[in-house]
Amino acid sequence: MIVQISFGQTSGAKEILGQVFEESSSVEGVNIINNNTQITAVTDENGMFSIVVKEGDVLVFSSVNLEPLKRRITVEDLTSSSVQIKMTAKQIELKEVVVNDNGGITAENLGIVPHGQKTYTPAERKLYTAKSTSIDKILNGISGRSSMLKKEVKVEKKEMLFRKLEYLFDDNYYTERLRISLEDIKGFQLYCVEDSEFAVSLNSKNKTMSMFLITELARKYLKILENEK
């Protein structure tokens, strides 16, 4: 099934069909956005998609493991039975190492913390304390406190993701672009942070990827809400 979310069409526009390939294989789950109209689509299991465009529109194709691709729509694209899109796999590159005058100044070198000491979040510090004392280990084995604190660490990380998402988009983006009602926004945000791929995009501050992923998550969430009625 080809997934497409659109909000309004421009006069003179036409729906085209296309297929995305990486080398000779079709690619499922590629996000497509029309930069001119903000209409989006996602390729199906056969790499197929449909999207409304007009001549001169620029389509942006993006996927986690593929290099982003831009394609300007031509007259030939509008008259073709199917537009073929060729994408390439991302190359893994080593990050550049920057050396500066302050590179040797660290909390360890200044004597603030011992050399080699690991830093912890508040929840992780509680878990470390619960595991590091022999008497506590006996008590924790009885009370299950370590297990509880492990859950607390997971909850804390989810809360941090949730806070990041709260500031990423305003309410109008959810209600007008994603068709999420105002009263369902918080629930939808919690649903999003449970998605591992979306969580990675939040942690890496990749807003473009977050926008692509949240469109598909919105479609799934609206379907869940519809089934609950």
Domain spans, the chain: 3-87, 122-222
State which fold the 3-87 domain adopts.
Immunoglobulin-like (2.60.40)
Residue of 49, 64, 84 whose CA lies nearest to 212 = 64
| φ and ψ at residue 50, rounded to 5 degrees | -135, 145
Report the half-sphere exposure of 31 (CA within 13 A, side-chain side): 19
Tokens of residue 214, six digits: 């949240």
Q: What is the distance, to the nearest Å, from the Cα of residue 108 to the centroid of all Cα atoms in its chain?
A: 35
How much is the CA Rg of the chain, to the nearest whole Å? 24
- The confidence score (pLDDT) of residue 9 equals 46
Q: Between the CA of residue 51 and those of 82, 120, 136, 172, 224, what are the distances in Å?
A: 12, 47, 60, 23, 24
Question: pLDDT of 98-107, one tens digit each?
Answer: 555 555 566 6
- The confidence score (pLDDT) of residue 157 equals 77
pTM, rounded to two decimals: 0.39
Question: pLDDT of 3-36, one tens digit each?
Answer: 454 444 445 789 999 999 998 899 999 999 999 9
Other Cβ atoms within 10 Å of 5 Cβ, number: 17
**C-alpha to C-alpha distance for 136 and 109, rounded to whole angstroms:** 33
Tokens of residue 156, six digits: 């804390």
Question: What average pLDDT score do residues 58-66 get?
Answer: 91
Q: Look over the chain and give the mean of its residue pLDDT values, rounded to a whole number.
A: 80
